[in-house]
Amino acid sequence: MGADPYAEQAYRGMMRCYLALGRSADALRTFAACRQALTGIDAAPSPETVAVRALIPGPTHLTTG
């Protein structure tokens, strides 16, 4: 995520855009990327970001690999 990998507002905006386009998998990947970036600084997604995640249909956990 560009210049500030911890900018949750940007992640939320991307998640909403993907959701509006019907691209749930991309929205879920964006949430996972946000969560991973924040884990690097011992933080977790804010309640606002988690609320946007709750709007996205799909699995609650993504596997990567």
Cα 17 from Cα 48, distance rounded (Å): 16
Q: Is residue 33 part of a domain?
A: yes
For 27-34, the CB contacts below 8 A with 24+ separation are 27/56, 28/53, 28/56, 28/58, 28/59, 28/62, 29/62, 31/56, 32/62, 32/64, 33/1, 34/1, 34/8
pTM above threshold 0.85:
no
When divided into structural domains, the chain yields a total of 1
pLDDT digits (tens, 9 = 90+) for 11-64: 999 999 999 999 999 999 999 999 999 998 999 999 999 999 999 997 765 554
pLDDT digits (tens, 9 = 90+) for 2-16: 567 779 999 999 999
Q: Is residue 63 part of a domain?
A: no
Contact 43, 59 (CB under 8 A): no
Q: Is residue 65 part of a domain?
A: no
Q: Is residue 17 part of a domain?
A: yes
Q: Is residue 62 part of a domain?
A: no
Q: Is residue 1 part of a domain?
A: no
Range of the domain at 16: 8-54
